[in-house]
A = this chain, B = another copy of it.
Amino acid sequence: MEFDHVIRKRKMIRKYLPNKIPDRIVSKMIKNASKAPSAGHTQVQEFIIVTDPATKKKLRQASVNQKSIEEAPVLIVVCSNTSRSVGRYGQRGRDFYSTIDGAFASMLILLTAVNEEIGAGFVGAFEDDKIAKILELPEYVKPIGIITLGYPDESPAKLERIENEQLVHYERW
């Protein structure tokens, strides 16, 4: 699909059909996401693919009970492995760069979903310590987002947006 068309078409999907999505598409998402930039090319981004219903249920409970987490046939949990960056960047690496880098990879997954005609949603509202326990994350791995994936069972209206002119400043705020 044309790049600009992908950008225009992207929407968060929260309702999914139960049908599985092809492994080929999930692999394509990981392939694109792993091309995301990272601070000093530390490549902190790692991905946990979750399809097990029991795990999805627990993840839902750790994420303010968001239904889409349990209902989506596949989740990709984007994590940042700070063991690859913290020695170089210290606290700013752990608190800031790791979040930026994980979000870069997440954005590429959300866009790839549009290009592959799959629905996707990003969830950032979760309790980090519960997610870490459920997914057995080492202490140096920070969860950044849970991406829900599947064929859409809704067609949400376009969201209203603030006019561009109100979001742009010249030379200073």
Contacts and interface: CB of A to CB of B under 8 A. Distances in A.
B1 A168 contact: no
Contacts of A169: 46-49
Interface string A21-47: 000000100111011110101010111
Contacts of A104: 103, 106-107
A160 to B, nearest CB: 9
A164 B30 contact: yes
A173 B135 contact: yes
- Which of the four size classes fits the interface of chain A? 35 or more
A42 B69 CA distance: 21
A62 interface: no
A155 interface: no
Contacts of A86: none
Interface of A: 1-4, 6-8, 10, 12, 27, 30-32, 34-37, 39, 41, 43, 45-52, 55, 79, 92, 95-97, 99-104, 106-108, 110-112, 115, 122, 124-125, 134-138, 141, 144-145, 159, 161-162, 164, 167-173
18 contacts: A1-B2, A2-B3, A3-B3, A4-B32, A4-B115, A7-B108, A27-B164, A30-B164, A34-B161, A37-B110, A46-B168, A47-B168, A49-B168, A99-B103, A100-B144, A107-B107, A135-B172, A136-B172
